Structure 1
Amino acid sequence: MNVNVIIGIIMILSFLGMVWYCVKGLNLMVGFAVMATFWTALALVGNSISPNSAMEGKSFIDVLTYVYADGPAGYAKSILVNVFFGAFFGRVLVDTGIASTLIRKVVELGGDKPRITMGLLCIVTAIIFMSMTGIGPVISIAVIVLPIMLSLGVPAPIAMFSFMGSIMAGIFGNIVNFKQYQTIYAGFNPAAENYTYNDYFQMGVICMVVALVVVLIVANLSMSKKAAHAWAAKSFTVSDNAPAISWISVILPVLGVVVFQIPIILGFCLAGIYALITTGKLKGTYSDICRLFAKLFTDGSIDV
């Protein structure tokens, strides 16, 4: 059997092993380091047996530098910066109450109809996660959305499926995820850097809508026609609502990039400031405001 085929099979098996590693909830950064080391060893062994033009003229140290120095630097240059600012903005939406207010308004609009309410919740969740990122916002939204669905009689597996599916749909249009994939693909094809979010936006929205439709169809077909109803979902207080003028901040980063073509990091910052101002959270002395931004960014980093 060709040595390239053998190494390819080993790489696929090791990738499946990494999937198992992730599912077990083990430390991802350590797992990535182990995988990088293992795949580097495979590349060196394979090149020694069947030389590859991609490694021509590269010494052992050059290979190590490419994997352990250039790789992390390139990753941090684009992905980590965008991810952290996206998580910062997600934390702003959670802490200002904008995300929870949108969800409460959707519940009021859906009334006592579980299927309609579930559909509206999924649509709002998908829109929210076009900009939000980080596990913290996911958990924060989940503890609001899932109890509402359960209180309306939506079975727990369907509630979880529809919620996670709506997040997945929103991620199709998520600009932070786009930047991650763009950086990864640019490692294989530098021309990928020329493919901007504006070029992708239309396709991303189409994918988002298709995914959301599929999720809602599967969820509705799976629901029992005799769902029990409880009305605990109407217990929210109006005093906790964020003002309507602040709601647009959810999609401001995307609008800033698509319409005004501003840098996404600046878009996250401006949208976050707008959300804080319109909800009355940006107040106090200069030092208080600095501490607020530091806390939001730190909480967002922890979410990542």
Structure 2
Amino acid sequence: MAVAILVIMALGVALILSGKVPTAFALVLLSVGIALVAGAPLVGEEGSVLQTVLQDGSTRLASTMIAILIGSWLGSLMRDTAIASTLVRKTVEFAGDRPVVVALGVLVVSALVGTVTGSAPAALLAGVIGIPAMVAVGVPKVTAAGTILVGIGVGVPFELPVWQFFSSALDLSIAEVRSYMVFLFPFALVGALGFVFVEVRRRGTVHAWSLTSSTGRGSAPSRRERLGDAPWYSLLTPLVPIVLALGLTVPIIPSLLAGVLYAALTTTRPRDLATRLLRTLYDGFTVAAPPITLFVAIGMLLAAVNLPAAVDALTPVVEAVAPTNPWLYVLVFSVLVPLCLFRGPLNIFGLGAGVAGALTAVGTFSPLAVLGLMASYNQVLGVSDPTSTQTVWASQYAGTKPQQVMVRTLPYMWVVAVGGIATSAVLYL
């Protein structure tokens, strides 16, 4: 049975890598296949394909889906109220024409945006102004795109929907997830700073982009109208959910809702409040639909690999090959870092979720040790994967190729992942 399950997983990887079947659809097929091979009945109240895998599994990550929706709503609101563009514009104005300072400023803004929402929306919020601003002062195009991405990577350890995902997927408390993410953050920050300081010095040709439109040099009568500035106090919006969740241990969804309310109340007249909230909520649904679909499928996959028969079949295999020695743990899983790229088997938002679920269910590693692995891989995935939406968008907007961004950012992100894996070994093995 174990061999059959592994074969099905391998076929799932091939199906996902082929790109002919959407990842979410492939994961659903994989879930049903694993359940059937594990001997699960088609119908029944307990351990069946229809009830346990498809019905219960589809809602297993419901709290994560709601967190993603509200995070997307907050990101849409930050765009609609010009909070994000004002953050970038003010940073660029302060930095002047100093490439390193401009890049560092955009990095900070990208990190703040990355705590609110991930993927392409975060790249767009920070990059629409940030990328042309960096290129205009002489930052190479590949480096400009990479700066946006590594900046988002700095924010990912504090991205509240990610906390909720790991909590639900690995059956951990938010406090346990938060405690590890605090340790992961310094590695993400050092990796991003290293990227900026090293790569920005590789000066390229100044791009022909004009910043006239983004810096507001026009003839409009009002500076607020000309620049589209959000009020200065509204710029604290990205910090509101972080302070509540990290500092005051407020639950994830209320923290995100507080950010939504703060952004709306500090930028919108009372008579327009309901209209703006409703419009941006609808926009948030559009942005959140793809990841929510993926998390429905991931929940099914987690339900399948946690079936008792599947756990019993996989236990001897995992115990035989899993490196339990701390040194081997760091060495082996550090070498396997590239398998999270190109929709590979360690992509946490693909088959990697099933691998994480299997490792946790078998019990070879504690859920916290699995968290350390997958969170570390997620840092690489979010920045360097040339098939991820944020990498594709940032690369194309900068006028370069995702593969070039991957080559430039991967060494730094690999070091970040190794740091995270080593920290996991020290803390949890």
Q: TM-score, normalised by structure 2?
A: 0.58
Which deviates more from structure 2 when the two are superposed, residues 214-223 or residues 109-118? 214-223
Shift of 1:71: 0.8
The residue type paired with residue 269 of structure 2 is L
Q: State which drifts further: 152-161 or 132-141.
A: 132-141
Amino acid at match of 2:184: C
CA positional deviation for 1:169: 2.2
Distance across 2 between alignment mates of 1:295 and 1:70: 32
Determine if contact 1:134/1:300 at 8 Å carries over to the other structure.
Answer: no
Residue from 270, 286, 298 that aligns with 2:282: 298
Call closer, same or farther: CA 1:211–1:258 in 2, change over 3 Å. closer
Aligned to 1:55: none
Matched, 1:108 2:85: no
Q: Please tell me whether the aligned partners of residues 128 and 251 of structure 1 are also in contact (alpha carbons under 8 angstroms).
A: no
Counterpart Cα distance in 2 of 1:252 and 1:271 = 5
2-side partners of 1:165 and 1:148: how far apart?
17
Q: Match for residue 322 of structure 2?
A: none
- Higher mean displacement: 160-169 or 267-276: 267-276
1:12 is aligned to 10
Of residues 262, 265, 270 in structure 2, which corresponds to 1:283? Answer: 270
Whether the aligned pair in 2 keeps the contact of 1:151 and 1:229 (CA below 8 Å) is: yes
| Shift in alpha-carbon separation, 1:226–1:90, aligned structure 2, 3 A | closer
Q: Does the alignment pair 1:33 with 2:15?
A: no
Structure 1: which 5+ runs fail to align?
A: 49-57, 187-191
Q: How does 1:1-304 map to 2 (within 5 A)?
A: 3-5=1-3, 7-21=5-19, 28=22, 31-45=23-37, 47=38, 59-61=41-43, 62-75=48-61, 77-133=62-118, 135-186=120-171, 192=172, 195-196=173-174, 198-229=175-206, 232-233=210-211, 236-237=215-216, 238-239=223-224, 240-279=228-267, 281-284=268-271, 288-304=272-288
Deviates more, 1:98-107 or 1:224-233: 224-233
| Contact kept? 1:90, 1:133, Cα under 8 Å | no
Aligned residues, how many? 273
Structure 1 pair 134/221, CA: closer, same or farther in 2 (3 Å)?
Answer: closer
Note the C-alpha offset of 1:219. Answer: 4.1
Distance 1:209 1:66 in 2: 40
* Closer/same/farther in 2, CA of residues 133 and 116 from structure 1, 3 Å limit: same
Aligned position for 2:317? none
1:172-208 C-alpha deviation (Å, 9 max, x unpaired): 210111101221112xxxxx2xx21x44435424423
**Contact 2:164/2:252 (<8 A) preserved:** no
- Match of 1:74, SS? coil
Residues 140, 203 of structure 2: 8 Å contact kept: no
- CA 1:290–1:59 in 2, change beyond 3 Å: closer, same or farther? same
* Change over 3 Å in CA distance of 1:201–1:4 after alignment to 2: closer
Whether the 8 Å contact between 1:169 and 1:207 is mirrored in structure 2 is no
Alignment match, 2:357: none
Using the TM superposition, give the Cα deviation of residue 151 of structure 1 relative to its aligned residue in structure 2, in angstroms: 0.9
Amino acid at match of 1:15: V
Could you say if the C-alpha distance between residues 12 and 182 of structure 1 is closer, same or farther in structure 2, counting changes exceeding 3 Å? Answer: farther
> Could you tell me which amino acid in structure 1 is paired with residue 81 of structure 2?
T
Instruction: Give the Å deviation of 1:168.
Output: 2.0
The residue that corresponds to 1:54 in the other structure is: none
User: Given residue 158 of structure 1, which amino acid in structure 2 is its aligned partner?
Assistant: T
State the alpha-carbon separation in 2 of the partners of residues 225 and 161 from structure 1: 13
Aligned equivalents of 2:255 and 2:30: distance in 1?
Answer: 39
Range 265-274 or range 153-162, more displaced:
265-274
User: How far apart, in 2, do the equivalents of 1:165 and 1:226 lie?
Assistant: 19
RMSD: 2.6
TM-score, normalization: structure 1? 0.79
Question: How far did residue 70 of structure 1 move?
Answer: 0.6
**Unmatched segments (≥5 aa) in structure 2:** 217-222, 289-429
Question: 1:244: how far off?
Answer: 1.7
Seen in structure 2, the aligned counterparts of structure 1 residues 226 and 255 have a Cα distance that, compared at 3 Å, is closer
